[in-house]
Structure 1
């Protein structure tokens, strides 16, 4: 038997505050069964408790309200399950990031860093297919997944064998947003490709350190390489380059990732120190 209850009683039943219930009503997520036209008092039916508890669980999982609305209002079971699956996948990814950061923090606090092996190299100018964008640091992961997925597809279609990379402007580091150019080296005679620029990257001297493994410790590689450059080299103008020797497109095993971080310098030191 269905009964109606006041918003206060419904709040106690569902552990949702009256303020939250009013908000859900205002946005059309969970409307009361009846609103008194003269007093504005709201009453809910007991059959709505299940819906309210579902909403509460989904919000406990930090599901966006738009997705909660899609789950609650949909009569298509497969569509509801797909929305739930996509959100759970996002949460799993966030949990993995948290695990990686915890592991990195423990290592930072308990392990003395090994001296970085730094190599010096002159990289000649080269032509490349590229995607150029103004990217926020917080969005760089998703941006790279999209852009390098497209570059990988282009490489496969045109049988290009080359190490992809990217350049990062100073603003990307200092302002948390700046120009990023993802590139795939090609022959000087390469023809244009839809959706990509043909760019000519300048040659130059670089101090190069290799980052191995997951990205959670990437800042430690930058810190060690940057310190080495400051102590042993003269910095040259120009963006930092990253070369993705072994990337997520090559293997799902994060421990196998290898990224060369290339710091621009004016010249190779006369007596280069191999250790930072």
Structure 2
């Protein structure tokens, strides 16, 4: 082979912006192989036309594809397979982006907590009485707690279809039925108080809630302060040796009512068992 028309690996590395170490790694995994290897010196040489392949490999690497997948894509002649792989990677990266946003938000919260700058420094925990009520209710297993809005999107039109009359000064909220915190597949029920029983359109339910005693504290502001409130409630439950049922929130001022998080008001509640 006339290696005078080939590029030495160092030159090829500079032109392709891929390190020599990575080029050797790509060779080992079938991504891109040298056009010729000097049998005496072991020096690797590449054709100029291979620069396009190398640059595409670098782009796939930058898009997060593992080396095995890069080799498969570069060796594929099936456009549908390539499109499917790109679409799947887009989903993966979108999820990673959401995860990163969540971690950044958590970092902000922990930074605030470590500096002792928690806004709600004093939490009043009280025992309150809720009278019996009737609710328009929708309960479903959701991917996560952040997906509660999906239930609210369905609840309101279903209540309208069922001719449910909302109580003018009634309450609305969400109940979290799992006996412990879950990372996924969470059992959530959202509800709105109505004036009287009604014939629900499935999957909506008409639920009668007996009177109950609750332990409650109010969260003012965005939900990043929720650990402060639940911590205060936990201390109260332990001090008074109270057993409680599923946690529920009463949304006095919800995100749908006011987009400003500082205006949100949420009563965090635990029904007292045996009361």
Deviation of 1:150 (Å): 2.0
> Is the contact between residue 171 and residue 177 of structure 1 (CA under 8 Å) also seen in structure 2?
no
* Cα 1:53–1:166 shift into 2, 3 Å: same
Deviation of 1:107 (Å): 2.5
Q: Which shifted more, 105-114 or 155-164?
A: 155-164
* Cα 1:175–1:147 shift into 2, 3 Å: closer
**RMSD of the TM alignment (CA)?**
4.6
Q: Matched residues in 2 for 1:211 and 1:115: separation?
A: 11
Who is 1:264 aligned against? 271
Q: Matched residues in 2 for 1:186 and 1:20: separation?
A: 65
Superposition pairs of residues 121-270 of structure 1, within 5 angstroms: 121-134=128-141, 139-141=144-146, 143-154=147-158, 160=166, 162-169=170-177, 171-173=179-181, 179-231=187-239, 233=240, 235-265=242-272
Deviation of 1:128 (Å): 2.0
**Which blocks of at least 5 consecutive residues in structure 2 are unaligned?**
1-5, 34-45, 74-78
> Is the contact between residue 128 and residue 198 of structure 1 (CA under 8 Å) also seen in structure 2?
yes
* Cα 1:178–1:88 shift into 2, 3 Å: closer
Q: How big is each residue's C-alpha offset from its partner over 1:58-103, in whole Å with a ceiling of 9 and x where there is no partner?
A: 228x9xx9xxx9999459xxx98xx969966972x54543343223
* Cα 1:52–1:58 shift into 2, 3 Å: same
Q: How big is each residue's C-alpha offset from its partner over 1:18-58, in whole Å with a ceiling of 9 and x where there is no partner?
A: 778988x8xxxxx779xxxxxxxxx9943233432332232
Q: Matched residues in 2 for 1:54 and 1:71: separation?
A: 19
- The answer to whether residue 108 in structure 2 is matched with residue 106 in structure 1 is no
Deviation of 1:130 (Å): 2.2
Deviation of 1:243 (Å): 1.3
Q: Matched residues in 2 for 1:21 and 1:244: separation?
A: 60
Q: 1:51 aligns with which of 37, 56, 80?
A: 56
- Compute the TM-score of the two structures, normalised by the length of structure 2: 0.63
Who is 1:36 aligned against? none
> Is the contact between residue 135 and residue 177 of structure 1 (CA under 8 Å) also seen in structure 2?
yes
> Is the contact between residue 136 and residue 159 of structure 2 (CA under 8 Å) also seen in structure 1?
no
* Cα 1:155–1:213 shift into 2, 3 Å: farther
Superposition pairs of residues 21-40 of structure 1, within 5 angstroms: none
* Cα 1:151–1:170 shift into 2, 3 Å: closer
Deviation of 1:152 (Å): 4.2
> Is the contact between residue 248 and residue 254 of structure 1 (CA under 8 Å) also seen in structure 2?
yes
- Compute the TM-score of the two structures, normalised by the length of structure 1: 0.62
Structure of larger gyration radius:
2
Aligned length, in residue pairs: 234
* Cα 1:99–1:45 shift into 2, 3 Å: same
